[in-house]
Structure 1
Amino acid sequence: MEPSCWRGSLSWERSNIMKSRALYNRFLSLSATALALWTFWLPAEAEARCLDVALVLAIDGSSSVDGAEYQLQKHGIAEALRDPQVIAAMRQAGDVAVSVIFWGDAGQPHQKIDWFRVADSKDGDRLAQRIERMHRNVKGSTGLGTGLVAALDMIAEADFCANRAIINVSGDGSETVYRRQTRHLPKPEDARARAEEAGVTINALAISNQEGGLKDYFASQVVTGPGAFVMEVKNYESFAEAMRRKLIREITPMAVSGLRLPVAWSDPPRAPDRP
């Protein structure tokens, strides 16, 4: 009887092992199916988490801006990024990423700070410190067109998507690049046309300490997009307050027929790292 009992016991173990293997194989099959569904679902879910605002600060670094004025611009932007009302506007807007570009001569490289996600005052202060530590490497003629194109490139090449894309450009003069020598360089109106096609808004701050009619020039040649505007200051001492008010105005969500305007790029999104 013992061998029979033993065989019976063995048959029971084999039966349970087979059942266990069947359950394990079923588990693997279900896991593979779940993984495939998760992989299929993830891009749509990620797309739904696009940032709300992508903002490029495009700042004049040409030779018409002397050393003291350049510092006033840097400190003015930093001061604005630390302002509680600016931070509150960003929070109201949702997820906001900011990048910075100092532009100058069309033949020189631009200075850039890559995308920073600004969610609170600590983020704003970190970005402000980065700007304050920047050493000036740009000068030369006023290559406004190439500066705007560089800002558009930063938006187009970003590895995340956003519901609104804005370029905040400031400067104290109109384009001064000689076209006969640089006929292939983009003009401000070329950059504006590209922005219109991409759904990017351009707002401007005219610093009219040297050139009369600069506000009208920016209005006719540069700004574009729903609600686009030009602000004007008469000197660099007024730059910080103007930048503060400008940021609040352009970041605050604007309803257009009850809908947010999407921008024209939608690459696989990834939120930029925090500073």
Structure 2
Amino acid sequence: MKSALAAVLLLACLAYSGEPRAADADLQIVLAADVSRSIDDGEFDLQRKGYAAALTDPRVLTAIQARANRAIGVCFVEWSGEEEQQVVVDWTEIRDEEDAATVAAAILAAPRSFMGRTSISAAIDFSIARFTAAKWQAARRIIDISGDGTNNSGRPVTDARDQAIASGVTINGLAIVNDRPNLGYSAHTQPPGGLPLYYSQNVIGGPNAFLIVVKDFNSFADAMANKLAKEIDVAGGAADQRVSWLDAGGSLIE
């Protein structure tokens, strides 16, 4: 009798992990922010504040509430050179304004992680690894890369992109057209054909991949809010690589 009772108690203990099981999310997204040395401190500040503002934007919160599970899993990463990636905010479930505000506050409170070269490929590889640590299951996994320059460190970015796509991950991009790059890295931030073309051909990919282009860091917050809302809204489907621009007022142009 005692052994039977002990077995029941053991099963009860095993069934309770100490934390409630998180519901499945509609989307897992790694927000991967470029903090390389072509981005000066003022631009970095605008970018950080832009991410925080976007996460708490009504457009994003409304998009979350419109999905089946009414939840997304978010991980915020900063990256620079080949060996420079940092989790600033680990996987957090966002269901409502309070959740979003918590993540936004954590982003704003953290110090700048790096100021080195630009390895988009290593950022993609690092982001792929982060999905294994996610607490929620989700049918859609997205890496959201923002940056102002080309890959100049690490393995070819197209190799990393192709590997991510093969694993079922979509990579979306937010290309920041930086006309006054820090330390004069104009060749890096203004490649032949322009940064939007570079991102379209080398960085984004996967089902419903798209790119949003902003003309300066002052437009970042609105662009990121548009981008996040669009990522949450877009259902899975055939690959469709598009470049979406913002007009002078910050509105998305299809």
- Which bin holds the TM-score, normalised by the shorter protein? 0.7 to 0.9
The answer on whether the counterparts of 1:104 and 1:110 sit within 8 Å (CA) in structure 2 is: no
The answer on whether the counterparts of 1:62 and 1:142 sit within 8 Å (CA) in structure 2 is: yes
Question: How far off is 1:95 after superposition?
Answer: 2.2
Tell me if 1:250 matches 2:219: no
Matches for 1:24-43 after TM superposition, within 5 Å? none
The answer on whether the counterparts of 1:170 and 1:204 sit within 8 Å (CA) in structure 2 is: yes
Per-residue CA shift, 1:67-95, capped at 9, x if unaligned? 00000000001111111111111122332
Tell me if 1:199 matches 2:168: yes
Moved more, 146-155 or 62-71: 146-155
Question: How far off is 1:109 after superposition?
Answer: 4.3
Aligned to 2:81: 105
Letter in 1 for 2:175: A
Aligned partner of residue 172 in structure 2, secondary structure: strand
How far apart are the structure 2 equivalents of 1:127 and 1:48?
Answer: 17
Aligned partner of residue 51 in structure 1, secondary structure: coil
User: How many residue pairs end up in the alignment?
Assistant: 221
How far apart are the structure 2 equivalents of 1:92 and 1:191?
Answer: 32
Tell me if 1:188 matches 2:164: no
Larger Rg over CA atoms: 1
Q: 1:109 to 1:255 in 2, by over 3 A?
A: closer
Sequence identity percentage: 35
Letter in 1 for 2:38: S
Q: 1:109 to 1:222 in 2, by over 3 A?
A: closer
How far apart are the structure 1 equivalents of 2:234 and 2:220?
Answer: 23
Q: TM-score, normalised by structure 1?
A: 0.72
Matches for 1:164-175 after TM superposition, within 5 Å? 164-175=140-151
Aligned to 1:215: 196
Higher-helix-fraction structure: 1
Matches for 1:94-133 after TM superposition, within 5 Å? 94-133=70-109
Letter in 1 for 2:61: I
- Where structure 1 has 5 or more consecutive residues not aligned to the other structure, the ranges are 1-24, 178-184, 258-275
How far apart are the structure 2 equivalents of 1:165 and 1:47?
Answer: 20
The answer on whether the counterparts of 1:146 and 1:187 sit within 8 Å (CA) in structure 2 is: no
The answer on whether the counterparts of 2:72 and 2:95 sit within 8 Å (CA) in structure 1 is: yes
- Where structure 2 has 5 or more consecutive residues not aligned to the other structure, the ranges are 180-189, 239-254
The answer on whether the counterparts of 2:208 and 2:234 sit within 8 Å (CA) in structure 1 is: no
Aligned to 2:221: 240
RMSD: 2.9
Matches for 1:32-181 after TM superposition, within 5 Å? 49-93=23-67, 94-177=70-153
Moved more, 132-141 or 64-73: 132-141
How far apart are the structure 1 equivalents of 2:237 and 2:84?
Answer: 38
Moved more, 51-60 or 88-97: 88-97
Question: How far off is 1:188 after superposition?
Answer: 1.5
Aligned partner of residue 26 in structure 2, secondary structure: strand
The answer on whether the counterparts of 2:47 and 2:221 sit within 8 Å (CA) in structure 1 is: yes
Q: Out of 219, 231, 256, which is 2:212 matched to?
A: 231
How far apart are the structure 2 equivalents of 1:116 and 1:157?
Answer: 11
Q: TM-score, normalised by structure 2?
A: 0.77
